[in-house]
């Protein structure tokens, strides 16, 4: 009913009070790989296409609850979490999500300059085609390098801003082994890292970052952020989040976030296989517009991390000592298998997968035990192109990708498998009796029992299975493995390689340091406290 200013009734009108939700558009993308700068094998677009590459509606369907974001590796990762987080915020705004592309590759050598340029151009092109955008959600690793191009990930963020504008908020998810630097902090509005190692919270982190991003776009949240640099390369023991050294630290991070003023806190235990003079651990804190609280918490978390610096990684076994332990553990072999983690060729940390040292040792010294061993040997498949399964073959592996590190090893046996796969390229199995050799065209990410089971090798029957990683095999082989041994030979993922790097200041454990604040102040160009 409508009334005039003197109180006379003018007539009736049906009036509905409606809450009009704001419409916002968020673009999302991924360029994700962890680089190993001790590798001379460049990563190319083909490495991403082999592992995981999607764009447009195919990507959108893959991150929905009914899809598989990274088939063969994990069902849900950061972008699935992003989708879930957006769905949970739909009551607050009309949100349209715009898929760009998702490129994810197994850890490897630095990107080729051509691949870096391709990604930059594709990112800008897809964003321009997307139309007006209110925010960008971007997943990356934080330890990506490109040949001859400094700071490739920061360049992606700069390219995004060139298209969407400097004031359009960007949310980024990072691996906790990222190399955090000031430029990356400044270029992002929301920054969230994994809090598990081995990593298993990809989707959870994506969801949290997405929800914070929406609140920033809607003006409900104003982020106050800060970071700290720690002059340390190693420490924290094994750095596994649920083992004694780091468990109290990660529990404290979770406790800190119970304060509603705190948006997210991250601890970065840096990837040590980068040739960067400013390498080190780092802390990042976001609060609800409370700079003082952010600074206080960043200092507190930095102190927690600094306090575990003297707890070094466990000593790894050389092959002879590892083999002695395998022989001694007869019951473990009877009830399951024993995992040998080839820590000198950890594909999950950028190893090429071509390292032959452990293979050579097992061929010679473990003839009484059944071993499954993976190795990368793209050159072998030219020789096998016309060879039928069942034939006797003689192949040479090693000495191809990095011959100065991985010597040639000759293996003779019966070819029992030879097929093309999406994840690893061509795969062949040579039965050499006590060694079942799995040869792959791409990097052999032998993290799961399926790596062997899919080529006809029952993990239950093996005395030993060689895996190419530090942490994931401990989770994925838990059902089969009764003991896990870290074995070190010589390769590009040896933990002591940091000693060969040139740093721009003293770092632990190369030099004993009384504290972290002086190095942090210099790094952030702030005044020492």
Q: Check residue 526 and give its pLDDT.
A: 56
User: Can you tell me the distance from the alpha carbon of 392 to that of 382, in angstroms, rounded to the nearest whole number?
Assistant: 16
Region of residue 47 (left: phi > 0; alpha: psi -120 to 50; beta: else)? alpha
Q: Check residue 10 and give its pLDDT.
A: 36
- From first CA to last CA, the distance across the chain in angstroms is 66
Query: Is it the case that residue 246 has pLDDT exceeding 60?
Result: yes
Average pLDDT rounded to a whole number, residues 302-322: 97
Q: Check residue 251 and give its pLDDT.
A: 97
Average pLDDT rounded to a whole number, residues 372-394: 96
Lowest mean pLDDT among 26-35, 206-215, 442-451: 442-451
Query: Is it the case that residue 19 has pLDDT exceeding 80?
Result: no
Query: Is it the case that residue 241 has pLDDT exceeding 70?
Result: yes
For the structural domain made of 19-221, what CATH number should be given?
A: 3.40.50.2300
**For residues 132 and 24, is the Cβ–Cβ distance under 8 A?**
no
Q: Check residue 6 and give its pLDDT.
A: 32
Task: State the span(s) of the chain assigned CATH 3.40.50.2300.
Answer: 19-221
Query: Is it the case that residue 337 has pLDDT exceeding 60?
Result: yes
Query: Is it the case that residue 180 has pLDDT exceeding 90?
Result: yes
Query: Is it the case that residue 444 has pLDDT exceeding 50?
Result: yes
Tens of pLDDT, residue by residue over 104-133, are: 999 999 999 999 999 999 999 999 999 999
Query: Is it the case that residue 473 has pLDDT exceeding 90?
Result: no
| pLDDT above 90: percentage of residues in the chain | 90
Average pLDDT rounded to a whole number, residues 502-525: 95
What lies within 8 Å, CB to CB, of 330 at 6+ separation is none
User: Can you tell me the distance from the alpha carbon of 3 to that of 387, in angstroms, rounded to the nearest whole number?
Assistant: 93
Q: Check residue 472 and give its pLDDT.
A: 74
Q: What is the mean pLDDT of the chain?
A: 93
Tens of pLDDT, residue by residue over 217-232, are: 999 999 999 999 999 9
Tens of pLDDT, residue by residue over 254-299, are: 999 999 999 999 999 999 999 999 999 999 999 999 999 999 999 9
Q: Check residue 465 and give its pLDDT.
A: 97
Q: Check residue 73 and give its pLDDT.
A: 78
Query: Is it the case that residue 72 has pLDDT exceeding 80?
Result: no
Beta bridge partners of residue 138, listed in sequence order: 29, 172
Average pLDDT rounded to a whole number, residues 462-487: 90
What lies within 8 Å, CB to CB, of 234 at 6+ separation is 272, 312, 313, 495, 498, 508, 509
Query: Is it the case that residue 366 has pLDDT exceeding 70?
Result: yes
| pLDDT above 70: percentage of residues in the chain | 95
Q: Check residue 476 and give its pLDDT.
A: 87
User: Can you tell me the distance from the alpha carbon of 216 to that of 260, in angstroms, rounded to the nearest whole number?
Assistant: 16
Tens of pLDDT, residue by residue over 82-100, are: 999 999 999 999 999 999 9
Beta bridge partners of residue 29, listed in sequence order: 138
């Amino acid at each position: 009913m409508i009334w005039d200013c003197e109180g006379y009734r003018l007539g009736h009108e049906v009036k509905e009070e409606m809450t009009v939700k704001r419409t916002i558009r968020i673009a999302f993308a991924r360029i994700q790989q962890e680089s190993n700068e001790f590798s001379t094998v460049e990563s190319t677009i083909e490495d991403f296409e082999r592992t995981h590459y999607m764009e447009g509606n195919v990507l959108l369907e893959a991150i929905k609850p009914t899809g598989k974001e990274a088939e063969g590796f994990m069902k849900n990762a950061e972008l699935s979490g992003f989708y879930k987080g957006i769905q949970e915020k739909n009551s607050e705004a009309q949100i349209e999500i715009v898929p760009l592309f998702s490129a994810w590759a197994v850890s490897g050598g630095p990107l080729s300059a051509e691949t870096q340029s391709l990604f930059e151009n594709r990112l800008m092109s897809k964003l321009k085609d997307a139309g007006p955008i209110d925010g960008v959600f971007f997943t990356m690793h934080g330890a990506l390098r490109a040949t001859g191009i400094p700071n490739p990930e920061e360049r992606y963020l700069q390219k995004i801003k060139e298209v969407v504008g400097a004031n359009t908020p960007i949310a980024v998810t990072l691996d906790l082994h990222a190399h955090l630097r000031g430029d990356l902090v400044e270029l992002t509005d929301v920054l969230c890292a994994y809090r598990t190692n081995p990593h298993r919270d990809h989707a959870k982190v994506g969801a949290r970052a997405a929800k914070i991003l929406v609140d920033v776009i809607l003006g409900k949240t104003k982020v106050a952020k800060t970071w700290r640099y720690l002059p340390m390369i190693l420490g924290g023991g094994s750095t596994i989040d649920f083992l004694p050294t780091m468990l109290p630290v990660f529990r404290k991070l979770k406790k800190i976030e119970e304060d509603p003023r705190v948006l997210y806190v991250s601890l970065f235990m840096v990837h040590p296989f980068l040739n960067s003079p400013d390498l080190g651990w780092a802390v990042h804190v976001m609060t609800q517009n409370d700079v003082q609280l952010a600074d206080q918490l960043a200092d507190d978390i930095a102190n927690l991390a600094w306090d575990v610096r003297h707890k070094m990684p466990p000593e790894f076994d050389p092959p002879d000592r590892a083999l002695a332990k395998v022989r001694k553990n007869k019951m473990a072999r009877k009830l399951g298998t024993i995992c040998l983690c080839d820590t000198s060729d950890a594909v999950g940390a950028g190893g090429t997968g071509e390292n032959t040292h452990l293979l050579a040792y097992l061929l010679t010294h473990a003839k009484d035990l059944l071993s499954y061993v993976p190795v990368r040997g793209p050159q072998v498949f030219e020789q096998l192109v016309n060879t039928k399964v069942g034939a006797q073959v003689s192949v040479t592996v090693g000495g191809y990708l990095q011959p100065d590190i991985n010597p040639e090893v000759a293996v003779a046996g019966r070819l029992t498998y030879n097929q093309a796969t999406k994840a690893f390229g061509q795969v062949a199995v040579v039965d050499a009796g006590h060694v079942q050799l799995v040869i792959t065209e791409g990097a052999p990410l032998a993290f799961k029992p399926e790596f062997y089971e899919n080529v006809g090798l029952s993990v239950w029957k093996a005395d030993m299975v060689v895996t190419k990683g530090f942490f994931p095999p401990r989770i994925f082989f838990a059902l089969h493995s009764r003991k896990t041994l870290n074995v070190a030979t010589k390769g590009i993922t040896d933990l002591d390689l940091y000693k060969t790097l040139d740093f721009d200041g003293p770092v632990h454990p190369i030099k004993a340091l009384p504290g972290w604040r002086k190095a942090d102040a210099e790094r952030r160009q702030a005044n020492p406290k």
